[in-house]
Amino acid sequence: MTSSPVSLSMPTVPRRRRTPEDVAAAAGVVGEKRVLLAAPRGYCAGVDRAVIAVEKALEHYGPPVYVRKQIVHNRHVVETLEERGAIFVDETDEVPEGSLVVFSAHGVSPAVVRSAEERGLRTIDATCPLVTKVHREAVRFAKGDYEILLIGHVGHEEVEGTFGEAPDHTQIVNSPEEADTIEVRDPDRLIWLSQTTLSVDETMETVRRLRERFPNLQDPPSDDICYATSNRQAAIKKIAPQADLVIVVGSANSSNSVRLVEVALEYGAKEAHRVDFANEVDESWFEGVATIGVTSGASVPEVLVQDVLRLAADYGYAAVEEVVTAEEDILFSLPKELRATLKEAGDGSRGLGGRGQRPMS
């Protein structure tokens, strides 16, 4: 009997890191080695609130707790919650009837809420309050028969949720270039809203181009780009002109993390890279580098930043200077469904989420 050949995959062999001496020999460094550490960075109040919501749900209801989409866009956070019993799904029809599901920080459309109700699901809405604000603006202006130009990225969960509040009154503007070609129903009843995690500069460029074509375009009642996105971009703008290299800690599907790389390069960083974990840093990036800028997206726990700083120190970048451009002290109450449960259970722990209010891990 002739046996069929068996194909065996080669085992993954960890890449051997070059030594600090090898990196130094490849390209000399002019000046003192240092790290400029952006502040603020990492977790914002909305992310903190959403993560605590899942943690508390697991603690009080027990696993499994279902979560529609990633609770926040960060691999480490999602994998950690999965280990504790969270199950992440794409849609509510994947959740067994009668089960508990948490809506992610990015928000959901009314259609998703209806789907959950039809399946008899218990829900916890962990939508960031700043995203909820944009949803309410969309509903309000649609009722006033305004056409809404929603500046954001097609396919992003937040944009899908906001669009779903008023689909008949909303068009998505994906880039400044699209502002030059979009057609509207009535240029005199027009308002723009935006995804909360965009580049501030690119959004303003999109608005500028829209207003050139539609002078009566109205602004939202308050800034839609969230404070955390603006603050993290402002910090990296200050660091970038001094940086030979910028490392942004954050996941590929994190819009605000990706924008930080773009902003760093636009404002003068010679090189910029995004990593999820310190082990993704390529030590060849350090060749000839005197100043490294380090920051992280709004869904990144501080422990991941500290891992990058420890790696940088191993290669001679032990001097760390924090560059502070803003102070953040915003706190959001936990979702109302969860607050009621905590109160009934006599849970005296805080019912808030916000910067500086949780441990590093």
* Active-site pick, 137, 147, 157, 158: 158
In a shared domain, residues 232 and 319: yes
> What is the distance between the alpha carbons of residues 31 and 14, in angstroms, rounded to a whole number?
33
Residues 175 and 198 in one domain: yes
**pLDDT at residue 343, as a whole number:** 84
Amino acid identity for residue 234 in this structure? A
> Rounded to an integer, what distance in angstroms lies between the CA atom of residue 190 and that of residue 167?
15
Assess contact for 76 and 276: CB atoms under 8 A: yes
Please report, for the domain that includes residue 338, its CATH number: 3.40.50.11270
Q: What is the mean pLDDT of the chain?
A: 91
CA angle, 176 as apex, 173 and 179 as ends, to 5°? 55
Q: Which of 328, 314, 267, 327 is nearest to 293 (CA)?
A: 267
pLDDT category at 351 given cuts 50, 70, 90 is low
Known catalytic residue: 83?
no
Instruction: Give me the pLDDT at residue 354, please.
Output: 58
pLDDT given at position 5: 47
> Could you tell me if 319 and 243 lie in one domain?
yes
Mean pLDDT, rounded, for 171-191: 97
Given pLDDT bands bounded at 50, 70 and 90, which one contains residue 6?
A: very low
Q: Are residues 114 and 58 in the same domain?
A: yes
- Separation CA 234–CA 280 (nearest Å): 25
For the ranges 4-8, 90-94, 283-287, 329-333, which has the lowest average pLDDT? Answer: 4-8
Two tokens, residue 314: 């191993």
Is residue 296 one of the residues assigned to a domain?
yes
- Its pTM stands at 0.89
Q: Is the peptide bond before 64 cis (omega within 30 degrees of 0)?
A: yes
End-to-end CA distance of the chain: 57
Q: Are 209 and 187 members of one domain?
A: yes
Residue 14 has pLDDT above 60, yes or no: no
User: Are 68 and 100 within one domain?
Assistant: yes
Tokens matching residue 102? 């948490």
Q: Is 89 left (phi over 0), alpha (psi -120 to 50) or beta?
A: beta
In a domain, 13, yes or no: no
Integer angstrom CA distances of residue 172 from 193, 196, 202, 330: 10, 14, 15, 30
Q: Is residue 24 part of a domain?
A: no
Percent of the chain, pLDDT > 90? 83
Mean pLDDT in residue range 302-325? 97
19 inside domain: no
Same domain? 241 vs 317: yes
Total residue count of the chain as it appears in this document: 361
pLDDT band at 222 (very low <50, low <70, confident <90, very high): confident
Residue 22 domain flag:
no
84 is a domain residue: yes
- Would residue 241 count as lying in a domain? yes
Number of domains making up the chain: 3
Q: Kind of pairing, strands 291-296 and 34-39?
A: parallel
- Residue 128 in tokens: 């960031």
In terms of residue numbers, what domain contains 61?
46-128+330-353
- Where among 213, 246, 264 does a domain terminate? 213
Considering the domain architecture, whether residues 233 and 315 belong to the same structural domain is answered as yes
Contacts of 321 (CB under 8 A, 6+ apart): 34, 35, 36, 37
Q: Which residue has the higher pLDDT, 301 or 344?
A: 301
Q: What is the CATH number of the domain that holds 173?
A: 3.40.1010.20
128 annotated among ligand-binding-site residues: yes
Tell me which residue of 142, 136, 135 sits closest to 189, measured CA to CA: 142
| 105 located within any domain | yes
255 is in an annotated binding site: yes
- Tell whether residue 106 is among the known ligand binding residues: yes
Q: Write down which residue in 188, 213, 238 finishes a domain.
A: 213
256 appears as a binding residue in the annotation:
yes
What secondary structure letter does DSSP report for 320? E
Radius of gyration of the chain (CA): 23
The 10s digit of each residue's pLDDT in 38-62 is 999 999 999 999 999 999 999 999 9
Average pLDDT over residues 253-263: 96
Is pLDDT at 4 greater than 80 in this prediction? no
Q: Is 7 annotated as a binding residue?
A: no
